[in-house]
Chain A
Amino acid sequence: MPVLQILTYPDDRLRQVSTPVLEFDDALERRIDDLEDTRLSGPGAVGIAAPQLGWFERVIIVDVAGRKKSSSHGHLVLVNPEITEWDGFTMGREGCLSVPDYTGNVVRAERIHLQALDPQGQPLGFDMEGFEARAVQHELDHLDGLLFLDRLVSRRQDLFARKSYK
């Protein structure tokens, strides 16, 4: 299986909006395999989005299993994913295969409801929270040409921190 080259910032192609998958065929399955192999080759990558490989269709993979503090649905291949509900806010640290050697704080929804299709085109629905919800929001941003750098918040501030000065 080929491990593909990951596009890195400031490559303009990372800004491209990806289009929905229309054909659920063997070619799709093969590309998903390449996407997964590339994710696994990255250093500790929990998720990956197709456009990071220059494949501009709406496909993401996330797998937060093994993070002991998070609930999760395991290994997910999500085609044409869409968040239909958001609830709460949480700040967390993110990095990106397309932005090597940089991490920063990003605010995401704490809980989401996600609808998507599986690689055969069958509908999926998940309630997600915490780290898994963050993973999906990060990858979905890639499909819309956004990076976590676009959402950075101050590294020295908690989400609702109130500091009083004398």
Chain B
Amino acid sequence: MSNWFMLTLVGRDRPGIVASVTSALFESGCHLGETSMLRLGDNFTIMMMVRDCGDEAALRGTLQPILEHLHLVLHVDAIDAVLHRRPVPDVCIIVHGADRAGIVSAVTSKAAAAGLNIVDLDSMVGGSEAAPIYVLQIEGVAAQGAEAIQTALEPLQAEGVKIDVRPIETFVG
């Protein structure tokens, strides 16, 4: 029986975090499953599936010196073994326009009502300080098809937000 944990580490980014954490886990006999790291501003976060680390106390003990050294916050959840549970996105939504409050909320609410399950989302503020622009990229599974999402987001276009809804075709062969 392998007991899986999901680790979430959060902190200020600096070079070498992933190497330090994964080395400590490896040296203590932990096995790494899937991982996902993100950086936003100066902040770092990573989610890692690990197993064979003993119980939660043992796992925290393994990582404690690194958490202190790198000033990271650790969150641990016991999870089911969940490798191979990736939904394949079939739609990509790209939104951009002058930065304004509520764009993400408006887009994701309307898209969710039209059947979108978000798999990946990334938003950025670019442009100049005086004239910031907003770019939002979403990938997801469109349960009611890409057209339904297109139609649902149409009213936002009229408000000056540029929205592209494109199907993602995955070739398999």
Q: Is the CB of A134 within 8 A of B172?
A: no
B11 at the interface (CB under 8 A from A): no
Q: Is the CB of B126 within 8 A of A46?
A: no
Q: Is the CB of A131 within 8 A of B172?
A: no
Q: Is the CB of B172 within 8 A of A44?
A: yes
Chain A residues proximal to chain B, CB less than 8 Å = 39, 42-49, 62, 67, 69-70, 92-97, 101, 103, 131, 134-135, 138-139, 156, 163-164, 166
In whole angstroms, what is the CA distance A131 to B170 when docked? Answer: 9
B69 at the interface (CB under 8 A from A): no
A69-B167, A164-B126 are known contacts. Are A103 and B88 too (CB-CB below 8 A)? Answer: yes
Q: Which of B143-173 contact A (CB under 8 A)?
A: 167-173
Q: Is the CB of A93 within 8 A of B173?
A: no
In whole angstroms, what is the CA distance A166 to B124 when docked? Answer: 11
In whole angstroms, what is the CA distance A138 to B172 when docked? Answer: 9
A103-B88, A156-B122 are known contacts. Are A62 and B169 too (CB-CB below 8 A)? Answer: no
Partner among B86, B124, B171 whose Cβ is within 8 Å of the Cβ of A101:
B86
B84 at the interface (CB under 8 A from A): yes
In whole angstroms, what is the CA distance A46 to B170 when docked? Answer: 10
Chain B residues proximal to chain A, CB less than 8 Å = 84, 86, 88, 122, 124, 126, 167-173
Query: For residue A49, which residues in chain B have a CB less than 8 angstroms away from its CB?
Result: 173
A101-B84, A101-B86, A103-B88 are known contacts. Are A93 and B170 too (CB-CB below 8 A)? Answer: yes
Q: Is the CB of A94 within 8 A of B170?
A: yes
Q: Is the CB of B173 within 8 A of A45?
A: yes
In the complex, what's the smallest C-beta–C-beta distance from A142 to chain B, in angstroms? 9
- Which of B84, B167, B171, B173 lies at the interface centre, i.e. has the most chain A CB atoms within 10 A of its CB? B173
Q: Is the CB of A103 within 8 A of B169?
A: no
Q: Is the CB of B169 within 8 A of A45?
A: no
A156-B122, A164-B126 are known contacts. Are A131 and B86 too (CB-CB below 8 A)? Answer: no
In whole angstroms, what is the CA distance A97 to B167 when docked? Answer: 22
Query: For residue A42, which residues in chain B have a CB less than 8 angstroms away from its CB?
Result: 172
In the complex, what's the smallest C-beta–C-beta distance from A70 to chain B, in angstroms? 8
Q: Is the CB of B173 within 8 A of A131?
A: no
- Which of B88, B169, B171 lies at the interface centre, i.e. has the most chain A CB atoms within 10 A of its CB? B171
In whole angstroms, what is the CA distance A45 to B88 when docked? Answer: 15
Query: For residue B172, which residues in chain A have a CB less than 8 angstroms away from its CB?
Result: 42-46, 94-97
In whole angstroms, what is the CA distance A78 to B126 when docked? Answer: 48
In whole angstroms, what is the CA distance A59 to B150 when docked? Answer: 40
Q: Is the CB of A46 within 8 A of B173?
A: yes
Q: Is the CB of A93 within 8 A of B126?
A: no
Q: Is the CB of A62 within 8 A of B168?
A: no
In whole angstroms, what is the CA distance A92 to B122 when docked? Answer: 19
In the complex, what's the smallest C-beta–C-beta distance from B146 to chain A, in angstroms? 10
In whole angstroms, what is the CA distance A131 to B173 when docked? Answer: 12
In the complex, what's the smallest C-beta–C-beta distance from A39 to chain B, in angstroms? 8
Query: For residue A67, which residues in chain B have a CB less than 8 angstroms away from its CB?
Result: 169
